[in-house]
Amino acid sequence: MAEKNRSIGIKSSEITPKQAYLSRRDFIKAAGVVAGSLTLASCAPASLQAASLPTPANPSLASKTDELGGQVNAFEDITGYNNYYEFTTDKAGVAPLAAKFKTTPWDVEVYGMVNKPKTYALEDLIRLFQPEDRIYRLRCVEAWSMVIPWQGFPLSKLLKEVEPNSDAKFVRFETITRPEEMPGLKNMLYPWPYQEGLRLDEAMNDLTLLATGMYGGELPAQSGGGLRLVVPWKYGFKSIKAVIKIELVSEPPATMWSEIAPNEYGFYSNVNPQVDHPRWSQASERRIGELNRRETLMFNGYAEQVAHLYDGMDLKINY
Ligand SMILES: Nc1nc2c(c(=O)[nH]1)N[C@H]1C(S)=C(S)[C@@H](COP(=O)(O)O)O[C@H]1N2
Ligand SMILES: [Mo]
Protein backbone atom coordinates (compact mmCIF):
# COMPACT_ATOMS: atom_id res chain seq x y z
CA MET A 1 0.00 0.00 0.00
CA ALA A 2 1.22 3.47 -0.82
CA GLU A 3 2.75 5.49 1.99
CA LYS A 4 0.05 8.15 1.74
CA ASN A 5 -2.70 5.57 2.15
CA ARG A 6 -1.10 4.12 5.26
CA SER A 7 -1.12 7.55 6.81
CA ILE A 8 -4.81 8.18 6.30
CA GLY A 9 -6.51 8.71 9.61
CA ILE A 10 -3.44 9.93 11.43
CA LYS A 11 -3.88 13.61 12.06
CA SER A 12 -1.52 15.81 10.09
CA SER A 13 -0.36 17.35 13.39
CA GLU A 14 1.02 13.93 14.32
CA ILE A 15 2.62 13.10 11.00
CA THR A 16 5.08 15.94 10.83
CA PRO A 17 6.88 15.36 14.14
CA LYS A 18 6.87 11.59 13.57
CA GLN A 19 8.47 11.89 10.16
CA ALA A 20 10.97 14.44 11.37
CA TYR A 21 11.84 12.17 14.27
CA LEU A 22 12.15 9.04 12.15
CA SER A 23 14.29 10.70 9.54
CA ARG A 24 16.70 11.89 12.21
CA ARG A 25 17.00 8.37 13.64
CA ASP A 26 17.38 6.90 10.17
CA PHE A 27 20.09 9.38 9.37
CA ILE A 28 22.03 8.37 12.47
CA LYS A 29 21.66 4.66 11.65
CA ALA A 30 22.32 5.04 7.95
CA ALA A 31 25.41 7.15 8.52
CA GLY A 32 26.73 4.45 10.83
CA VAL A 33 27.26 6.94 13.62
CA VAL A 34 27.92 4.96 16.79
CA ALA A 35 27.03 7.57 19.37
CA GLY A 36 24.02 9.78 18.65
CA SER A 37 25.65 12.55 20.66
CA LEU A 38 28.30 12.98 17.94
CA THR A 39 25.70 14.54 15.68
CA LEU A 40 24.86 17.06 18.39
CA ALA A 41 28.43 17.98 19.22
CA SER A 42 28.47 20.99 16.99
CA CYS A 43 25.26 22.56 18.25
CA ALA A 44 25.37 22.35 22.06
CA PRO A 45 27.95 22.58 24.85
CA ALA A 46 28.85 19.23 26.46
CA SER A 47 27.11 20.01 29.76
CA LEU A 48 23.82 20.76 28.04
CA GLN A 49 24.03 17.57 25.99
CA ALA A 50 24.62 15.47 29.09
CA ALA A 51 21.56 17.01 30.74
CA SER A 52 19.26 16.64 27.76
CA LEU A 53 20.15 13.10 26.65
CA PRO A 54 18.35 10.53 28.78
CA THR A 55 20.48 7.65 29.98
CA PRO A 56 19.33 4.14 30.84
CA ALA A 57 20.18 2.55 34.21
CA ASN A 58 21.53 -0.53 32.40
CA PRO A 59 22.92 0.50 28.98
CA SER A 60 24.07 -3.08 28.27
CA LEU A 61 20.43 -4.04 27.63
CA ALA A 62 20.79 -2.19 24.30
CA SER A 63 22.78 -5.14 22.93
CA LYS A 64 20.09 -7.70 23.83
CA THR A 65 17.51 -9.12 21.46
CA ASP A 66 14.03 -10.53 21.86
CA GLU A 67 13.49 -14.26 21.27
CA LEU A 68 13.05 -13.60 17.53
CA GLY A 69 16.38 -11.79 17.25
CA GLY A 70 14.92 -8.28 17.25
CA GLN A 71 17.35 -5.73 18.66
CA VAL A 72 16.26 -3.87 21.79
CA ASN A 73 15.44 -0.26 20.84
CA ALA A 74 17.59 2.64 21.97
CA PHE A 75 16.59 4.15 25.31
CA GLU A 76 16.13 7.51 23.62
CA ASP A 77 13.64 5.97 21.17
CA ILE A 78 11.65 4.26 23.92
CA THR A 79 11.55 7.38 26.10
CA GLY A 80 11.37 10.00 23.34
CA TYR A 81 8.64 8.69 21.02
CA ASN A 82 5.49 7.97 23.04
CA ASN A 83 1.76 7.72 22.73
CA TYR A 84 0.33 9.18 25.94
CA TYR A 85 -2.70 11.32 25.18
CA GLU A 86 -3.13 12.53 28.78
CA PHE A 87 -0.03 14.62 28.05
CA THR A 88 -0.24 15.31 24.32
CA THR A 89 -0.93 13.60 21.00
CA ASP A 90 2.53 14.75 19.82
CA LYS A 91 4.76 11.71 20.31
CA ALA A 92 7.96 13.74 20.73
CA GLY A 93 6.16 16.14 23.08
CA VAL A 94 5.26 13.59 25.77
CA ALA A 95 8.73 13.29 27.32
CA PRO A 96 9.22 16.99 28.14
CA LEU A 97 5.67 17.31 29.50
CA ALA A 98 6.03 14.14 31.60
CA ALA A 99 9.38 15.19 33.06
CA LYS A 100 7.78 16.65 36.21
CA PHE A 101 5.13 13.91 36.61
CA LYS A 102 5.60 12.26 40.02
CA THR A 103 5.59 8.44 39.88
CA THR A 104 6.38 7.92 43.59
CA PRO A 105 4.59 7.26 45.85
CA TRP A 106 2.26 5.13 43.69
CA ASP A 107 -0.78 3.15 44.86
CA VAL A 108 -3.01 0.75 42.95
CA GLU A 109 -6.45 -0.32 44.16
CA VAL A 110 -7.50 -3.88 43.28
CA TYR A 111 -11.20 -4.44 43.91
CA GLY A 112 -14.58 -5.54 42.54
CA MET A 113 -15.49 -9.22 42.33
CA VAL A 114 -12.72 -10.45 44.59
CA ASN A 115 -12.59 -11.97 48.07
CA LYS A 116 -9.70 -9.80 49.24
CA PRO A 117 -9.82 -6.26 47.81
CA LYS A 118 -6.74 -4.27 48.68
CA THR A 119 -4.83 -1.08 47.86
CA TYR A 120 -1.16 -1.81 47.27
CA ALA A 121 1.79 0.55 47.39
CA LEU A 122 4.13 0.06 44.44
CA GLU A 123 7.10 -0.70 46.69
CA ASP A 124 5.10 -3.48 48.36
CA LEU A 125 4.23 -4.99 44.97
CA ILE A 126 7.91 -4.94 44.04
CA ARG A 127 8.88 -6.60 47.33
CA LEU A 128 6.09 -9.20 47.09
CA PHE A 129 6.44 -10.18 43.45
CA GLN A 130 10.15 -9.62 42.64
CA PRO A 131 10.05 -8.11 39.12
CA GLU A 132 11.88 -10.04 36.40
CA ASP A 133 13.38 -8.94 33.06
CA ARG A 134 11.14 -9.38 30.00
CA ILE A 135 12.03 -8.16 26.52
CA TYR A 136 8.78 -7.65 24.58
CA ARG A 137 7.81 -6.31 21.17
CA LEU A 138 5.27 -3.46 21.27
CA ARG A 139 3.19 -3.13 18.09
CA CYS A 140 1.19 0.09 17.87
CA VAL A 141 -2.07 0.06 15.90
CA GLU A 142 -0.51 2.88 13.83
CA ALA A 143 1.82 0.19 12.38
CA TRP A 144 5.11 1.00 14.08
CA SER A 145 6.84 -1.21 16.64
CA MET A 146 9.64 -1.25 19.19
CA VAL A 147 11.46 -3.81 21.31
CA ILE A 148 11.42 -2.82 24.98
CA PRO A 149 13.27 -4.33 27.97
CA TRP A 150 10.79 -4.23 30.86
CA GLN A 151 11.08 -5.19 34.47
CA GLY A 152 7.81 -6.43 35.87
CA PHE A 153 5.78 -9.29 37.29
CA PRO A 154 2.91 -11.31 35.81
CA LEU A 155 -0.47 -9.72 36.54
CA SER A 156 -1.63 -13.24 37.48
CA LYS A 157 0.42 -13.06 40.70
CA LEU A 158 -1.48 -9.99 41.87
CA LEU A 159 -4.87 -11.38 40.80
CA LYS A 160 -4.24 -14.61 42.74
CA GLU A 161 -3.53 -12.51 45.85
CA VAL A 162 -6.96 -10.80 45.74
CA GLU A 163 -8.82 -14.03 44.83
CA PRO A 164 -11.30 -13.28 42.02
CA ASN A 165 -14.71 -14.80 42.87
CA SER A 166 -16.77 -16.96 40.49
CA ASP A 167 -18.60 -13.91 39.01
CA ALA A 168 -15.35 -12.28 37.87
CA LYS A 169 -14.93 -12.72 34.09
CA PHE A 170 -13.11 -9.56 32.98
CA VAL A 171 -10.56 -7.09 34.34
CA ARG A 172 -10.90 -3.31 33.98
CA PHE A 173 -7.88 -1.00 34.24
CA GLU A 174 -7.92 2.75 34.78
CA THR A 175 -5.25 5.42 34.37
CA ILE A 176 -4.66 8.20 36.90
CA THR A 177 -5.98 11.68 36.03
CA ARG A 178 -3.97 14.65 37.28
CA PRO A 179 -5.32 17.58 35.24
CA GLU A 180 -2.77 20.03 36.60
CA GLU A 181 0.13 17.79 35.46
CA MET A 182 -1.47 16.21 32.37
CA PRO A 183 -2.44 18.99 29.94
CA GLY A 184 -3.90 16.53 27.41
CA LEU A 185 -6.83 15.87 29.78
CA LYS A 186 -8.22 19.24 28.67
CA ASN A 187 -8.86 17.67 25.27
CA MET A 188 -12.54 16.78 25.59
CA LEU A 189 -12.46 14.69 22.38
CA TYR A 190 -11.44 11.80 24.62
CA PRO A 191 -13.68 10.19 27.27
CA TRP A 192 -11.25 10.32 30.20
CA PRO A 193 -10.13 8.50 32.22
CA TYR A 194 -8.24 6.17 29.88
CA GLN A 195 -9.62 2.69 30.50
CA GLU A 196 -8.75 -0.73 29.19
CA GLY A 197 -9.93 -4.27 29.71
CA LEU A 198 -8.98 -7.92 29.36
CA ARG A 199 -10.86 -11.16 29.64
CA LEU A 200 -9.86 -12.90 32.88
CA ASP A 201 -7.99 -15.72 31.09
CA GLU A 202 -6.03 -13.14 29.04
CA ALA A 203 -5.20 -11.32 32.26
CA MET A 204 -4.02 -14.59 33.86
CA ASN A 205 -1.75 -15.54 30.92
CA ASP A 206 1.90 -15.52 31.94
CA LEU A 207 2.82 -13.03 29.17
CA THR A 208 0.59 -10.34 30.69
CA LEU A 209 2.91 -8.14 32.70
CA LEU A 210 2.62 -5.31 35.18
CA ALA A 211 5.74 -3.30 34.42
CA THR A 212 7.53 -1.60 37.32
CA GLY A 213 10.77 -0.74 35.52
CA MET A 214 12.44 -0.33 32.14
CA TYR A 215 16.03 -0.61 30.84
CA GLY A 216 17.17 -1.70 34.31
CA GLY A 217 15.85 1.38 36.10
CA GLU A 218 12.62 2.91 37.32
CA LEU A 219 9.70 3.10 34.93
CA PRO A 220 9.90 6.57 33.32
CA ALA A 221 6.72 8.65 33.52
CA GLN A 222 6.36 8.69 29.72
CA SER A 223 6.59 4.87 29.67
CA GLY A 224 3.70 4.55 32.13
CA GLY A 225 5.27 4.89 35.58
CA GLY A 226 4.41 4.23 38.42
CA LEU A 227 2.76 1.02 37.11
CA ARG A 228 1.93 0.00 33.53
CA LEU A 229 0.17 -2.97 31.96
CA VAL A 230 1.97 -4.70 29.07
CA VAL A 231 0.03 -7.12 26.85
CA PRO A 232 2.50 -7.90 24.05
CA TRP A 233 0.20 -9.83 21.67
CA LYS A 234 -2.30 -6.95 21.50
CA TYR A 235 -2.04 -3.52 19.88
CA GLY A 236 -0.11 -1.05 22.02
CA PHE A 237 -3.17 0.87 23.21
CA LYS A 238 -4.21 -2.15 25.34
CA SER A 239 -1.01 -1.64 27.35
CA ILE A 240 -2.46 1.06 29.60
CA LYS A 241 -0.09 3.42 31.43
CA ALA A 242 -0.10 4.83 34.96
CA VAL A 243 -2.60 2.30 36.32
CA ILE A 244 -4.29 3.22 39.63
CA LYS A 245 -7.33 0.93 39.52
CA ILE A 246 -7.74 -2.75 38.66
CA GLU A 247 -11.33 -3.91 38.94
CA LEU A 248 -12.67 -7.45 38.51
CA VAL A 249 -16.02 -7.32 36.71
CA SER A 250 -18.58 -9.70 35.17
CA GLU A 251 -19.07 -7.98 31.78
CA PRO A 252 -16.62 -6.64 29.15
CA PRO A 253 -15.67 -3.18 30.44
CA ALA A 254 -15.84 -0.04 28.29
CA THR A 255 -12.45 0.88 26.88
CA MET A 256 -11.49 4.37 25.77
CA TRP A 257 -10.65 3.49 22.17
CA SER A 258 -13.72 1.32 21.60
CA GLU A 259 -15.90 4.11 23.05
CA ILE A 260 -14.42 6.58 20.54
CA ALA A 261 -14.55 4.32 17.46
CA PRO A 262 -16.17 0.92 18.10
CA ASN A 263 -15.91 -0.06 14.42
CA GLU A 264 -12.14 0.52 14.47
CA TYR A 265 -11.07 -0.64 17.93
CA GLY A 266 -12.63 -3.79 19.30
CA PHE A 267 -12.40 -5.20 22.78
CA TYR A 268 -9.82 -7.85 21.79
CA SER A 269 -7.48 -5.81 19.59
CA ASN A 270 -5.13 -8.72 19.04
CA VAL A 271 -2.31 -7.99 16.62
CA ASN A 272 -3.53 -9.63 13.42
CA PRO A 273 -1.95 -9.00 10.00
CA GLN A 274 -5.01 -10.54 8.31
CA VAL A 275 -7.53 -8.11 9.76
CA ASP A 276 -6.89 -4.59 8.53
CA HIS A 277 -7.86 -1.47 10.40
CA PRO A 278 -10.80 0.04 8.43
CA ARG A 279 -8.55 2.91 7.35
CA TRP A 280 -5.16 1.19 6.80
CA SER A 281 -3.39 -2.15 6.40
CA GLN A 282 -2.04 -4.05 9.39
CA ALA A 283 0.01 -6.47 7.25
CA SER A 284 3.37 -4.81 7.90
CA GLU A 285 5.00 -2.44 10.34
CA ARG A 286 7.85 0.01 10.74
CA ARG A 287 10.28 -1.03 13.49
CA ILE A 288 11.50 2.24 14.99
CA GLY A 289 15.19 2.58 14.17
CA GLU A 290 15.08 0.30 11.12
CA LEU A 291 14.89 1.27 7.46
CA ASN A 292 12.89 -1.61 5.99
CA ARG A 293 9.36 -2.53 6.92
CA ARG A 294 8.71 -5.88 8.60
CA GLU A 295 5.85 -8.28 8.09
CA THR A 296 3.52 -8.15 11.06
CA LEU A 297 3.24 -11.52 12.81
CA MET A 298 0.02 -13.10 14.05
CA PHE A 299 -0.45 -12.20 17.71
CA ASN A 300 2.71 -10.08 17.31
CA GLY A 301 4.76 -13.31 17.24
CA TYR A 302 3.32 -14.71 20.48
CA ALA A 303 0.86 -17.16 18.85
CA GLU A 304 2.38 -20.20 20.55
CA GLN A 305 1.58 -18.76 23.97
CA VAL A 306 -1.84 -17.22 23.30
CA ALA A 307 -3.56 -18.59 20.15
CA HIS A 308 -5.40 -21.18 22.28
CA LEU A 309 -7.22 -18.37 24.12
CA TYR A 310 -9.18 -17.69 20.93
CA ASP A 311 -9.96 -21.25 19.77
CA GLY A 312 -13.29 -21.30 17.99
CA MET A 313 -13.56 -17.50 17.78
CA ASP A 314 -13.81 -15.62 14.47
CA LEU A 315 -11.12 -12.97 14.86
CA LYS A 316 -12.61 -10.90 12.02
CA ILE A 317 -15.73 -10.48 14.14
CA ASN A 318 -13.92 -10.36 17.48
CA TYR A 319 -11.32 -7.79 16.34
N1 LIG B 1 -2.98 5.95 29.81
C2 LIG B 1 -2.56 5.76 28.54
N3 LIG B 1 -2.01 4.58 28.21
C4 LIG B 1 -1.57 4.37 26.94
C5 LIG B 1 -1.73 5.36 25.95
C6 LIG B 1 -2.31 6.62 26.34
O7 LIG B 1 -2.48 7.54 25.53
N8 LIG B 1 -2.70 6.77 27.64
N9 LIG B 1 -1.32 5.11 24.65
C10 LIG B 1 -1.28 3.70 24.24
C11 LIG B 1 -0.70 3.48 22.93
S12 LIG B 1 -1.63 3.90 21.58
C13 LIG B 1 0.52 2.87 22.78
S14 LIG B 1 1.11 2.46 21.23
C15 LIG B 1 1.39 2.61 23.94
C16 LIG B 1 2.70 3.34 23.72
O17 LIG B 1 3.62 2.99 24.73
P18 LIG B 1 5.08 3.61 24.74
O19 LIG B 1 4.92 5.10 24.70
O20 LIG B 1 5.69 3.12 26.01
O21 LIG B 1 5.78 3.09 23.52
O22 LIG B 1 0.83 3.05 25.16
C23 LIG B 1 -0.57 2.84 25.29
N24 LIG B 1 -1.00 3.17 26.64
MO1 LIG C 1 -0.66 2.76 19.82
pLDDT tens string 152-190? 999 999 999 999 999 999 999 999 999 999 999 999 999
The reply to whether ligand 1 has any atom less than 6 angstroms from the CB of 236 is yes
Between the CA of 246 and the centroid of ligand 2 the distance, in Å, is 21
State the DSSP H helix or E strand holding residue 218, giving kind and residue range, or none if neither: strand 217-218
Residue 6 lies in a domain: no
Residue minimizing CA distance to atom 1 of ligand 1: 241
Residue minimizing CA distance to atom 18 of ligand 1: 82
| pLDDT score of 79 more than 90 | yes
More confident residue, 47 or 319: 319
Between the CA of 240 and the centroid of ligand 1 the distance, in Å, is 6
* d(C-alpha 286, C-alpha 259), whole Å: 27
* d(C-alpha 243, C-alpha 121), whole Å: 12
In degrees, rounded to 5, the angle at the alpha carbon of residue 190 between the alpha carbons of residues 186 and 194 is: 100
The number of domains in the chain is 1
Residue 3 lies in a domain: no
| pLDDT score of 61 more than 80 | yes
Residue 109 lies in a domain: yes
- The domain of 280 spans 12-310
pLDDT of residue 195: 98
The CATH number of residue 102's host domain is: 3.90.420.10
Q: Render pLDDT for 271-304 as a digit per residue (tens, 0 to 9).
A: 999 999 999 999 999 999 999 999 999 999 999 9
What are the C-alpha distances in Å from 299 to residues 48, 75, 231, 239, 311?
42, 25, 10, 14, 13
Q: Render pLDDT for 94-138 as a digit per residue (tens, 0 to 9).
A: 999 999 999 999 999 999 999 999 999 999 999 999 999 999 999
Q: Confidence band (pLDDT; 50, 70, 90) for 54?
A: confident
Mean pLDDT of the chain: 89
* d(C-alpha 58, C-alpha 215), whole Å: 6
Residue 246 lies in a domain: yes
* d(C-alpha 294, C-alpha 2), whole Å: 15
Give the amino acid at 131: P
Q: Is the distance from CB of 263 to CB of 278 less than 8 angstroms?
A: yes
Residue 179 lies in a domain: yes
Residue 305 lies in a domain: yes
- Mean pLDDT value across residues 83-89: 98
Residue 286 lies in a domain: yes
- Percent of the chain residues past pLDDT 90, beyond the cut: 83
Structure letter (DSSP) for residue 253: P
SS3 237: helix
Helix, strand, coil percent values for the chain (each to nearest 5): 30, 25, 45
Residue 60 lies in a domain: yes
Among left, alpha and beta (phi > 0; psi -120 to 50; other), residue 202 is alpha
| pLDDT score of 7 more than 50 | no
